[in-house]
Amino acid sequence: MNLFTDAIAWLTDPAQWQGQYALPVLLGQHLLYTVISVAVAAAIALPAGWLIGHTGKGREIAVAISGAARAVPSFGLLILLVLVLGVLQTPLAAIITFVLLAIPSLLAGAYTGFEAIDRHTVDAARAVGMTEWQIFTKVELPLGMPLLVGGIRSALLQVIATVTIGAYVNLGGLGWPIIQGIPLHRFDQVLAGALLVAALALIVDLLLAGLQRAVVPAGVQSQHPASDHISRRSANRAAVA
């Protein structure tokens, strides 16, 4: 309990809210790397995932790529890229690392969202004369949006947690109090940094959980009372795909 109290005291110390390493500055750096990384990953993964989900082709390749990307140790990859690209390109090395981490969840959320749609719905859309683009924009995209938001949610949480290691190569972020505090044996500072990262992840998760419920098309849940259970099961498949 004393350690927790000390961590709160460290967080509320006015010294932590001023200067180059002030907590608002570190939070801004953390969010900046997170948003840039997930945006770049989305630009790569979402079109590929939608194409796979719409055509039903290439799923095996996507699963293989996702599995390989998940198996790469983020910290080791970051250090390797820093050594390869040079210390002057450390931000680029970090962005590449975080992008590779975010791609699997976004890719899986995109194509599993389409796969979860009843094929009879898509066939009916074709039967009434819709073009493939209309099917994509008016049928598949709205119905697949909840699982897509679930993929974005998972990617954001993973990147938020992993951006913490960026402080090890002097990129700042909320990992800075943790990385700095460990060699100094300032465990109150380490715990405070961990609490900040956990709080940020929790807030983002709650916001996206609300968004995931909000994007469910009107009438879908009322027509399918078990849709919540199905959505959770589908989301779990997307997380391991």
What residues does each domain of the chain span?
2-240
173 with 164: CB under 8 angstroms? Answer: yes
The pLDDT assigned to 176 comes to: 93
The pLDDT assigned to 227 comes to: 42
The pLDDT assigned to 234 comes to: 46
The whole-number mean pLDDT for each consecutive block of 10 residues of the chain, a chain of 241 residues, reads 86 88 93 96 93 85 80 86 86 92 91 86 86 87 91 94 91 91 90 94 94 81 47 46 47
The pLDDT assigned to 160 comes to: 95
Residues 201, 100, 113: CA angle, nearest 5 degrees: 70
147 with 231: CB under 8 angstroms? Answer: yes
Lookup: tokens for 174: 């909320």
**Alpha carbons 136 and 74: distance in angstroms, whole number:** 34
**Alpha carbons 102 and 214: distance in angstroms, whole number:** 23
The pLDDT assigned to 239 comes to: 44
CA-wise closest residue to 163 among 29, 47, 70: 29
DSSP 217: P
| Number of Cβ atoms within 10 Å of the Cβ of 13 | 12
Q: What is the largest CA-CA distance in the chain?
A: 69
CATH number belonging to domain 2-240 = 1.10.3720.10
User: Which residue type, as a one-letter code, is found at position 32?
Assistant: L
The pLDDT assigned to 226 comes to: 41
Phi, psi of 58 (to 5 degrees): 90, 5
The pLDDT assigned to 219 comes to: 60
Lookup: tokens for 143: 């119905």
Lookup: tokens for 194: 């961990």
**Alpha carbons 149 and 234: distance in angstroms, whole number:** 12
Residues 238, 240, 241: CA angle, nearest 5 degrees: 60
pLDDT tens track for 73-131:
888 889 899 888 887 888 999 999 999 999 999 998 998 888 888 888 888 888 888 88
The pLDDT assigned to 241 comes to: 47
235 with 115: CB under 8 angstroms? Answer: no
The pLDDT assigned to 238 comes to: 44
**Alpha carbons 43 and 61: distance in angstroms, whole number:** 18
